[in-house]
Structure 1
């Protein structure tokens, strides 16, 4: 005597229908009855379908799906998704750490493959890792992968002002604060250098001579900081061949954005600052 065997696909369909019926408030002991009533078949036949021993025809599935308020295509999509293994979180693609979701397709050859290396998923083009025995042995096909796009940081650019003339410092800061900038003021090079080392700024406006010493070393520390390409503007109220030579060296060594003589024309400086940051957004 032959015995019928359930098939994986029939069972998956039945499991999905059971899940939907549960969501619709149809108790588990009423599932078979609901199927029988919708299709006009016996309880026994409906029971065989729900256990995966009898195949489903598309027309039957469409009727049952409709009775539960879903389309046939939605039902098939639910069944397909139930087969999928997924990884949600960080993964590496093109040497970049991304946040998103990988949907695996382990039994199918795909254009992209995923390999777990040191507990971190890496996605490669399948052709690029062919011939690598270690990767070939452990790779999984990738059906799809998504990328979550993070919100861009729209915080105000931070600008440091350095000048030992407190009146000029206050006036300049008040005018620049009217723009989209966060302004911090310093009256000593040492204090600013300490801040550069811990939390560098996006831009700097430096008096060239502070407390009788040039700010050449400050410029050097800026270019050695974690933000080495920050904007630097130099101000000076002093003149002379030596001063001019020092400033020329700073321009050459540190890519200074601009040099302005005191008394200041803040409007002109602000135009250049606005242009600098606008070109970097």
Structure 2
């Protein structure tokens, strides 16, 4: 008999756990640490739980709910919340109201028909929701909003966002986990094209990249960073191919000179790498 949470998939449970924590005053940057404390998990395990990439057991769901004094059904399925609609689900969202724009938890219901009306409506934007006041007919794909909670945020230092680019996906994610434990946000990319595409719409405070990718080098991607919206971002090149002769020492030397790149040989000493990263970002 399986003990996995069959009443809801991992992503849905993760959404509800994050919403529950926000309602109880746990900021986004403290949620992984709090979950690890409750379930006795490693930071990496807790991070995957909250991303929805690791399955939840019924016992874990119950334990989280009990820790906050709420019924486990709050995490299994959507609640009516006293608003007369069982389909509404709590979601992390951004509220746009006059000159105010900030995070909130919104109970989002079914899509609205052309002739239906609601005071507030929600629009899906990728994995996020945007909440606005509706003064007339709802736009296409508008969902009814039945409840909104706003929780004042404590002042928190903004985490620097680091792009980790490595053809070995497991290695990239392992480094991301280490960076997360040391106070950074981190995003993994295992293809140079995926990373350079991300540069078109995102900015990164620093980049950590491998050198060789399917016969290509990271030189063009590094040049793209220097032409991006954040051209001064520190770049760290990690490679284990100099000793094997697969990488050209002269090519790497040229990239270091032209684009102000720090170079570390693999396997990198992560504590030293993070210390250098923190210093360059003014966090030391």
TM-score range, shorter chain: 0.3 to 0.5
- Name which one, 1 or 2, has greater alpha-carbon Rg: 1
What TM-score, normalized to structure 1?
0.43
Higher helix share: 1
